[in-house]
Amino acid sequence: MAPLPPPSPEAPLLGPAAAVPESPLVVITGASSGLGQALALRFYHAGYRLALVARRVSEIERWARASQIDITRYQIYSADVSDANAMVVMGNTCLQAQGVPDVVIANAGISVGVDTACRTDIDVMARVFTTNNIGMMATFHPFVAAMAARAVTGSGGTLVGIGSVAGIRGLPGHGAYSASKAAAITYLESLRGEMKPLGVRVVTVCPGYIDTPLTQKNRYTMPFLMQPKDFAEKAFQAIVTGASYSVIPWQMGVVAKLMRLLPNALYDKLLAGRPRKHRDGEGWAEGG
């Protein structure tokens, strides 16, 4: 087992010394809440070691203790996905401490409404793109070379990006998030083609509405709302069974396909008057 480096201020290692070398490793960003925690628990129960990334590391610690996660099977990394340099430090520290991951899940994301008439919302748009898009690439970047190298003699592993059904078509008031998720879906498709010859799989997972802090403040109806545990089960199956693209729950997959077919006039009419996502400054914190 590689010796643990000393904790660094950029990406402090807060977990106990790892690890069981032969058990697979999953890296998950956004592990301090919602889908990240649910995915972590599902992979943990499948025997994986966990590399858990977020800014609120105390939340991860609290969750790990409450979930009775074996202290030899996880490490926590404090990093902001929108800070590419911090993500490189996180990735290198993880590679050294826990080895080459089998699965990397770029899950961290934020969802904030925007109004193009408001100057401050330009900054919100930038923050959403930086977190949801730059953050996704920055999550994969530190691991791709090592995963491709391992693919020469064994399994390269899997990169997973969390998109959204909101990325299929633009939702009024939700332009930053919808656009960021559309970009994420397209980026993942490009990456899939790039990584395939290198022996690394890429999986796009598009959640519909899942009951997490990100959606709990929504003021509109959320069809087919799903619990995070149920989402994690379906996502786990999609990731390990080799799907390249999965919408969860499946009913939202049907809705997404129909949305793509609707002519603009009908689509606009259906969404007219729909309550909008909360913007910053409306008395709500950002999602995530």
Residues binding ligand NAP (CB under 6 A): 29-36, 54-56, 59, 80-82, 107-111, 131, 162, 164, 207, 209-210, 212-215, 287-288
Closest CB 122 distance from ligand NAP, rounded Å = 18
CA 173 distance to own-chain centroid: 22
The answer, yes or no, to whether the previous bond of 19 is cis (omega within 30 of 0) is yes
**List 177, 187, 220, 267, catalytic entry:** 177
Q: Which is nearer to ligand NAP, 36 or 175 (CB)?
A: 36
Q: Based on CB atoms, which residue is closest to ligand NAP, 8 or 215?
A: 215
Least distance to ligand NAP from the beta carbon of 56, Å? 3
In the residue annotation, 177 being an active-site residue is answered as: yes
Q: Considering the complex, state which of residue 80 and residue 121 has its C-beta at the smaller distance from ligand NAP.
A: 80
- Write down the H helix ranges in 4-83: 34-45, 57-66
Nearer to ligand NAP, 90 or 144 (CB): 90
Strands 103-106 and 158-162 come out as parallel
**Alpha carbons 61 and 146: distance in angstroms, whole number:** 28
- Distance of closest approach, residue 254 Cβ to ligand NAP, in angstroms: 16
Closest CB 207 distance from ligand NAP, rounded Å? 4
Q: Which of 54, 55, 52 is nearest to 40 (CA)?
A: 52
Give the start-end residues of each E strand in the chain: 25-29, 49-54, 74-78, 103-106, 158-162, 201-207, 245-248
CA angle 190-131-247, nearest 5°? 55
Residues marked active site are found at 177
